[in-house]
């Protein structure tokens, strides 16, 4: 079976790039970019969609929250014991390599490799409520 509608993609991508450049121009050039972070976040929403049947805990309001602290989510013992506050540093390290930061964490995710993407993602999470 062939996918249809792929012909539209280049145009959409170009528009997104142009839009991104505009946003970049409007703000300080290399500051963390929450709009880009929102796009990076799409790799997380498969497990963190904010619903009760999601694989992962709800990340709304996660910035500044104590790790493993949502009453209605069944965390791994490792996450419950981790005793972290999800600030810039801890989020950055966890997103870069979840199992290095919280050993035996249930989050089966290889992590995001690129530092700039992680900074943007953390910037986005600050306002994700
Ligand atoms: C394959 C599914 C999956 C993906 C993809 C995923 N996560 Fe998770 N995440 C989990 C699970 C499961 C947990 C709970 C871990 C535990 O209890 O050990 C978790 C926990 C977390 C926590 C701790 C939350 C808390 O309440 O303490 C943060 C922060 C987090 N994830 C961020 C992210 C971010 C950011 C991304 C995208 C870059 C992401 N996750 C991608 C499944 C996932």
Domain ranges (residues) in the chain: 32-126
- Pocket residue to mutate for ligand 1, from 47, 67, 74, most atoms within 8 A of Cβ: 47
- Ligand 1 atom 26, closest CA: 68
Closest by CA to 112, choosing from 49, 41, 54, 47, is 41
Kindly indicate the confidence band of residue 28, based on its pLDDT and cuts at 50, 70 and 90. very low
The CATH class of 32-126 is mainly alpha
Mean residue pLDDT of the chain comes to 84
Burial class (CB in 10 A: 0-12, 13-18, 19+), 88: middle
For the cut 90, the answer to whether the pLDDT of residue 65 exceeds it is yes
Q: Minimal CA–CA distance to 22: which of 11, 12, 10, 33?
A: 33
**CA atoms of 12 and 38, how far apart (whole Å):** 17
């Amino acid at each position: 079976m062939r996918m249809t509608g792929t012909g539209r993609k280049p145009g959409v991508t170009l528009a997104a790039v142009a839009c991104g450049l505009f946003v970049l121009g409007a703000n300080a050039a290399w500051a963390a970019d929450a709009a880009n972070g929102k796009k990076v976040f799409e790799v997380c929403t498969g497990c963190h969609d904010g619903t009760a049947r999601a694989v992962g805990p709800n990340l709304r309001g996660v910035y500044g929250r104590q790790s493993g602290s949502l009453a209605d989510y069944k965390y791994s013992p490792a996450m419950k014991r981790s005793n972290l506050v999800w600030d810039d540093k801890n989020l950055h390290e966890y997103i870069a390599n979840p199992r290095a930061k919280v050993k035996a964490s249930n989050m089966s995710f290889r992590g995001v490799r690129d530092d700039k993407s992680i900074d943007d993602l953390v910037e986005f999470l600050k306002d994700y409520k």
